Amino acid sequence: MTEPLVDLPGLLRGLQEHKVEYVVFGALAMIFYGYVRNSEDLDIVVAPDQENLDRVAEWLGSIDAVLKLNPQRPFGPRDRWGLHKGSNATVLSKLGQIDIVQKLPGLPDWAEVLAQAEVYEVDGPNIRVMNRALLIELKRRRSFPQDLADIDAIERLAEL
């Protein structure tokens, strides 16, 4: 059996424990739409208010997150400041890679992302998942080969 690249249950549990407001997108969101593929990371859009961003930073500290581009450097005060200024962050942790997003081409503001999100209950806590149409739109804008394959799979499953 192959080891998972990301401990998704552990990451989601940590987000819940730290009361982080987030919406899942990327490969994990696709699972909720019926398409399962291995994921190398957890992709989340986070609420941009200061209190939530502080909770994000505290959560990242609790899982020993380091910067993907500089794995020798732990996620720290400078990176917390970057989150408060609207930056995205990609980190590595003992539970896997995490992409924290606040800005993407075509990404609506947080209130709209949240209002459109679908809510699923998984072993207790609710998980907010980016709605299918927005997920497809963001993947279409990026147009990487994996994104195009994902769009095809999601659309074919929707026809069933």
Q: List all residues 6 or more positions away from 11 whose beta carbon is below 8 Å from its beta carbon.
A: 42, 63, 93, 95, 96, 98
H helix or E strand, kind and range, residue 102: none
CATH number of 8-154: 3.30.460.40
Calculate the dihedral angle through the C-alpha atoms of 106, 112, 115, 118, rounding to the nearest 10 degrees. Answer: 10
3-state SS, residue 70: strand
- Indicate if the alpha-carbon torsion angle 60, 10, 38, 121 is positive or negative: negative
Radius of gyration of the chain (CA): 15
Instruction: Quote the tokens at residue 53.
Output: 């961003």
pTM score? 0.90
Per-residue pLDDT of the chain (160 residues; tens, 9 = 90+): 344 478 988 999 999 999 999 999 998 898 888 888 877 899 999 999 999 999 999 999 999 999 999 999 999 999 999 999 999 999 999 999 999 999 999 999 999 999 999 999 877 778 999 999 999 999 999 888 999 999 999 888 877 7
Q: Would you list the domain boundaries of the chain?
A: 8-154
Q: What local confidence, expressed as pLDDT, does residue 38 receive?
A: 78
